[in-house]
Amino acid sequence: MKWIHVKAIFESNDIPLAEELVSDIFFGLGLQGVVCQIPMDAPPEGFASDAVEVSDETYVSGYLPDSDTSMEIIEKIREKAEELQSKSEGLQSQSGLYINIVIKTEIVDQEDWAEAWKSFFYVTRITEHIVVKPEWRTFAPHQKDIVIEIDPGMAFGTGTHPTTAMCVALIEKYLMPADTFLDVGTGSGILMIAGAKLGARRLCGIDNDEVAVEVACQNLEKNAIDPDRYHVEKNTLDIYLAENQPPPKFDIVTANIISEVIIEILGDIKKSLSDGGTVILSGIIREKEGIVLAALEEYGFSIAEIRYEGEWVAIAAKL
């Protein structure tokens, strides 16, 4: 079977925001194996020694099956990219945002693309003791290392994105042994695995994507997490709480999703959090930090900590 590799190479004066906007186009049109390539410093010696050389281009890429409808989807990608450029040009005088996008395509074989995306993911030390390792990489851990082994499938990252890394670091700081843990929008399951390896007694993950639920369960199993300790289901938070009466309470709730969704579900997050519990939020760009903080204050949360990495923000807040 043939596939079409679609690459959106972009320039912007706000790379994190442009990355999010371009990625939304790809995910919205159902592309698979989506990868964001942002040039960065070389990893520490010993990490990623088996990885291919990283491109100095900034782009988002993904794959489509080569079918009768492929050209129509590619045309829609081009149209949406042009719309995004036009909007940024209109907003530039007001906000300073600039985006220029070039779309490139090529035909590849199934075998080529099914393996090629793996070359972008490396062993990454997120904190002093927590290491994320794609299952196809080799790594010799230090004595006190906690190694999270991830196979993201072709739809999720491995935890090296700043938002995920900051969430893991905050979980390490605020989770106490025997805490209960809820992950909203669980994706690959990496935050659940971190919670489990840091001592959470009971864990729950919910996601509205069936593929995410399957991938999360596979990764929890790969990391030898006792299935009696966790539950993952396809659901939304409001329905999950409505279906379980009285609504279950959790000591730690995490949500690494976009700001607008965080604000929308913050009331349900409050319902699911134990008194004195901690919510850990990320997926927030700096320009949206203010509205998220205002929403947290409105719902009665107190801010415990705010972390920044580049243009990304992570927040820990308590009831």
- State the amino acid at position 300 in one-letter form: G
Question: How big is the chain, counted in residues?
Answer: 319
pLDDT tens digits along 70-81:
888 899 899 999
Q: Which residues fall within 8 angstroms of residue 142, CB to CB, at 6 or more apart?
A: none
pTM of the model: 0.73
pLDDT given at position 215: 87
Q: Span 232-248, mean pLDDT? A: 94
Q: Is 100 annotated as a binding residue?
A: no
What are the residue ranges of CATH 3.30.70 in the chain? 2-119
Pairing of strands 180-184, 250-256: parallel
| pLDDT classification of 112: cutoffs 50, 70, 90 | low
pLDDT given at position 93: 46
Q: Is 62 annotated as a binding residue?
A: no
pLDDT given at position 193: 97
| pLDDT classification of 1: cutoffs 50, 70, 90 | low
Q: At what angle do helices 15-28 and 70-95 cross, to 10 degrees?
A: 150
- Domain 2-119 sits in CATH 3.30.70: yes
pLDDT tens digits along 178-198:
999 999 999 889 999 999 999
Query: For all residues of the chain together, what is the average pLDDT?
Result: 86
Query: 121-318, superfamily in CATH?
Result: Vaccinia Virus protein VP39 (3.40.50.150)
Strand partners for 124: 132
What are the residue ranges of CATH 3.40.50.150 in the chain? 121-318
DSSP string, the chain: -EEEEEEEEEEESSHHHHHHHHHHHHHHTT-EEEEEE---PPPPTTSSTTSPPPPSS-EEEEEEE-STTHHHHHHHHHHHHHHHHHHHHHHHHHH---EEEEEEEEEEEHHHHHHHGGGG---EE-SSSEEEEETTS-----TT-EEEEE--TTTS--S-SHHHHHHHHHHHHHPPTT-EEEEES-TTSHHHHHHHHTT-SEEEEEES-HHHHHHHHHHHHHTT--GGGEEEEE--HHHHHHHSSSPP-EEEEEEES-HHHHHHHHHHHHHHEEEEEEEEEEEEEGGGHHHHHHHHHHTT-EEEEEEEETTEEEEEEE-
Q: Is 235 annotated as a binding residue?
A: no
Q: Is 207 annotated as a binding residue?
A: yes
